């Protein structure tokens, strides 16, 4: 059974770059272009991993969505990544090195975007799959 990935980003160009690439490599991938779509797709799709943009409808949409996802069933079996270019734009870097930082951003990890599709795939295979195999 292929792993399910939910991409949440209001940038259609990024979705169109990542979605087919991940599908080509055997992943079941769905996309949401805002928080409302993500909340509609999430329960039935039940993703193994979620890449969630930080700034969508509002500057904190990703934080709010990740907080909502963390309250959904099976949270311990899901990997959530805050996926944003905010660091490039503001110079501020998020971190998930401590439990407190993970709790603050409501995610397991943080990635700067853009990221090359092959690097995103490598991230999934080297970091996410080992986590999922333990669950």
Residues spanned by the domain of 56:
4-134
Domain count, the chain: 1
> The CATH number of the domain where 63 resides is what?
3.40.50.2300
- For the segment 106-125, the average pLDDT, to the nearest whole number, is 89
d(CA 84, CA 120): 13
The overall longest dimension of the chain from CA atoms, in Å, is 40
pTM: 0.84
d(CA 90, CA 51): 20
The mean pLDDT value of the chain amounts to 83
Q: Of 22, 18, 59, 15, give the one whose Cα is nearest residue 38.
A: 15
Assess contact for 78 and 52: CB atoms under 8 A.
no
pLDDT digits (tens, 9 = 90+) for 56-106: 676 677 677 878 888 888 878 889 888 876 544 544 455 556 566 556 567
Q: Which residues contact 3 (CB under 8 A, 6 or more apart)?
A: 27, 28, 48, 49, 124, 128, 129, 132
């Amino acid at each position: 059974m292929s792993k399910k990935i939910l991409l949440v980003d209001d940038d259609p160009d990024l979705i169109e770059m990542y979605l087919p690439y991940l599908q080509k490599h055997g992943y079941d991938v769905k996309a949401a272009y805002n928080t409302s779509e993500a909340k509609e797709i999430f329960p039935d799709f039940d993703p193994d991993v979620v890449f969630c943009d930080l700034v969508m409808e509002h500057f904190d949409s990703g934080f709010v969505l990740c907080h909502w996802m963390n309250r959904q069933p099976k949270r311990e079996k899901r990997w959530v990544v805050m996926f944003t270019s905010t660091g490039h734009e503001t110079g501020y870097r998020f971190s998930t090195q401590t439990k407190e930082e993970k709790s603050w951003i409501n995610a397991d990890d943080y990635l700067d975007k853009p990221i090359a599709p092959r690097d995103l795939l490598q991230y999934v295979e080297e970091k996410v799959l080992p986590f999922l195999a333990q669950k």
